[in-house]
Structure 1
Amino acid sequence: MYLGEQLIDPTDERLRLSAQLGCEGIVVDTRPNRSVLDDNGHWIPQKVTDLRRWIESYGMALDCMALDLGAILLDSLKDLDKAKARAAILRQHIAAAGEGGVPMVKFTVAMVGITRTGVIDGRGGMKCSTFKASDYHPEADARFSYWGTVLPEDGKEAPDTPVYDKGNPETGGQLLATEAGVISYDDGWRAIDFLIEELLPTAEKAGVKLACHPHDPAYPPGGLNGVHHVMGSIEGMKRFISIAPESPSLGFNFCQGTIAEMSSDPNAAVQEAIQTFGPLGKIFMVHFRNIKGGYLDFREAMPDEGSVDMAASIRAYREVGYKGILCPDHVPLSDVDPGRERFFSFCLGYTKALLQTIR
């Protein structure tokens, strides 16, 4: 296993910092990734190659790029022709990634963003994004949820509040749950089945892994606003793999925080998931993050202070033979670290220490 970072629109300076902090891999999370697009919205293989070589010039590998699904999941339920047109573009992106030497793309099955209900104080007054199902209301959803690459803010009314970005490309085609309409349990699986059926053959041919991020967070029984999160449980993750269990291209962007949110015993859930999917070779990359709390009531946390035993997780990854990237993700916010670089540095140092001590 090795350290890595997810970066949006990385710069030379930011890549230098990643390398100096000991990262060996980079995941480019830019959505849409305009640096590799042509005028028709297609990835240009040579530009993908150039991006990879640029990152390699800093002594790191380009492990993965984000696949911008847009509204394909919702469209597959409401406008099939539009969804098929988007699928054709996504297949071209996957093929270009393979041609450009990038071994993996990642995506999320969220149709309505990553739902959060507020921000609360954490250690030393840091601001921690939280989800408490009993506090849910659409205004909190609009203000505090993650939409695509648009991050939740700290509660102030300002133009950078996610609701102001609604409809921009960076929101990934995601809507408020109140706007999406009813998405039943069966609808959720129908959309996911459509997506994998459209993309997997191309990924297999190109030798590219499809790393799927499960639903964040797990929703309560009956969903929220009629929207169900069908991959909000380990059973849902098992069903996802059963779509094509033998495929070397189908697996997970294995987010520890998201899996912890699925259970009232977060640590047990994470350890179970590692032991379930690790031996199958279905853990393609790891978001090595923590939460405080559990199912339907949690806050995001620094890795050393949460409900998941991170040392036990490292030990479990080693036991199942995982050798890939570990990325920090969803660190809290602070006015003394507005770019979150110091917080991410802390996470990387903490993870490196675990890798050196847990054998």
Structure 2
Amino acid sequence: MYIGEQIINPTEARLKLSRQLGVTDVVIDTRPNEQLLGADGAWDAAKVADQRRWVESLGLKLEVLALDIGSMLLDSIHNPDRARRTAEKARADIRAAADGGVTTLKYNVQMVGITRTGFAEGRGGVRCSAFRARDYSPAADADFSYWGVGHPGGGAHGADIATNATGTKEAVGQVLGTASGGVTEEQGWRALEFLVDQLIPTAEAAGVRLAGHPHDPAYPPGGLNGVNHVVGSLEGMKRFLDIAPESASHGLNFCQGTVAEMSTDPNRIVQEAIREFGGRKRIFMVHFRNIKGGYLDFHECFPDEGAVDMAEAIRTYREVGYDGILCPDHVPVSDLDPARERFFAFALGYTKGLLQAFPAASG
């Protein structure tokens, strides 16, 4: 295993900083990634290769790109023609990524935003993104959720933090539940089956792995605002993978924080999930983050202070043979670190320390 960074719209200076912090591999989370587009509106393989070589010229490896599926899942329920057009573009992007030398793509199954209801005060006065089901309202959702590549508090801090609002291109098709048209459990599964049917055969043919991010957060029974989060439990994650059970291209962007949010016993469920999905070799990348609290009442935090035993998690990843990238994710917000560079540097150093403390077995 090794540390990596997930960065939006990286500059040369930002990538040089990553290298100086000991990062070897990066995930570019830019959505929509307009600099890769060709004349037909899909990714151009030559531009993918140029971006990969640029990253390599700075001493890093471009390991993963974000595949923008926009509102394809929601459209598959309410606007099938548009969903099919989006799927066609996504298939072209998958082929271009492979031809450009990038063979892992991540995507998010969110149809609405990553739902949050406010901030909790954290260590030293930092602001930690929080979800409390009892505090939910559409107004709080609009104000505090993550939209696409936005981050709560984004838009005023510069760097890679996009303006965090619905209706922007960076929201990549995610909408408030009240504007979604509704998603029943049956519709949610039908949408995911559509995605797998439309994209996985192309990924298999191209030799590309597609890493799906589960629903964040787990919703209460019956959903919120008429929307159900079907990949918001271990059973939901298993069923999602079992849509294509034999495919080596169908796997997870294993967000450790999202999994922790699925249970009132976050550490237990995280270790169980690593064994389940790592054992099946379906973890393609990891968001190595932590939370305080648990199911329906949690807030994000620094990796060293949450409910998940991060050292035990490292040992469990080792146990199942996971040898891929660990990316910090969802660090708190502070006016003292507006671009979150120092907070991410702390998370990287903490993770690297754990990797050194619990090395892979020799021989």
TM class, shorter-chain normalised?
Answer: over 0.9
Superposition map of 1:55-70 within 5 A: 55-70=55-70
Q: Distance in 1 between matches of 2:93 and 2:182?
A: 30
Secondary structure of the residue aligned to 1:128 is: strand
Give 1:197's aligned residue.
Answer: 197
TM-score normalised to structure 1 length: 0.97
Task: Please tell me whether the aligned partners of residues 284 and 324 of structure 1 are also in contact (alpha carbons under 8 angstroms).
Answer: yes
Cα deviation 1:67-124 (Å, max 9, x = unaligned): 1111111110011111101100000000001001101000111000100000121000
Compared CA separation, residues 323 and 161, structure 1 to 2 (3 A): closer
The answer to whether residue 312 in structure 2 is matched with residue 312 in structure 1 is yes
Cα deviation 1:261-320 (Å, max 9, x = unaligned): 000000000000000011111000000000000000000000000000000000000000
Q: Distance in 1 between matches of 2:261 and 2:171?
A: 23
Superposition map of 1:106-145 within 5 A: 106-145=106-145
Task: Please tell me whether the aligned partners of residues 78 and 181 of structure 2 are also in contact (alpha carbons under 8 angstroms).
Answer: no
In structure 1, give the amino acid aligned to 2:218: A
Give 1:26's aligned residue.
Answer: 26
Q: Distance in 1 between matches of 2:41 and 2:133?
A: 38
Secondary structure of the residue aligned to 1:49 is: helix
Task: Please tell me whether the aligned partners of residues 292 and 298 of structure 2 are also in contact (alpha carbons under 8 angstroms).
Answer: yes
How many pairs align?
A: 354
Superposition map of 1:12-161 within 5 A: 12-153=12-153
Give 1:294's aligned residue.
Answer: 294
In structure 2, give the amino acid aligned to 1:21: L
Q: Distance in 2 between matches of 1:38 and 1:44?
A: 5
Cα deviation 1:237-257 (Å, max 9, x = unaligned): 000111111111000000000
Secondary structure of the residue aligned to 2:26 is: strand
In structure 1, give the amino acid aligned to 2:312: A
The answer to whether residue 159 in structure 2 is matched with residue 183 in structure 1 is no
Task: Please tell me whether the aligned partners of residues 261 and 295 of structure 1 are also in contact (alpha carbons under 8 angstroms).
Answer: yes
Cα drift, residue 41 of structure 1? 1.9
Cα drift, residue 7 of structure 1? 0.6
Task: Please tell me whether the aligned partners of residues 212 and 252 of structure 1 are also in contact (alpha carbons under 8 angstroms).
Answer: yes
Cα deviation 1:181-203 (Å, max 9, x = unaligned): 22100000000100110000110
Q: Distance in 2 between matches of 1:59 and 1:214?
A: 31
Give 2:352's aligned residue.
Answer: 352
Give 1:275's aligned residue.
Answer: 275
Task: Please tell me whether the aligned partners of residues 143 and 161 of structure 1 are also in contact (alpha carbons under 8 angstroms).
Answer: no
Cα drift, residue 161 of structure 1? 6.6
Q: Distance in 2 between matches of 1:57 and 1:278?
A: 32
Task: Please tell me whether the aligned partners of residues 109 and 214 of structure 1 are also in contact (alpha carbons under 8 angstroms).
Answer: yes
Cα drift, residue 358 of structure 1? 1.1
Structure 2: stretches of 5+ with no match in the other structure: 157-161
TM-score normalised to structure 2 length: 0.96
* Structure 1 residue ranges (4+ consecutive) displaced by more than 3 angstroms after TM superposition: none
In structure 2, give the amino acid aligned to 1:231: V
In structure 2, give the amino acid aligned to 1:270: V
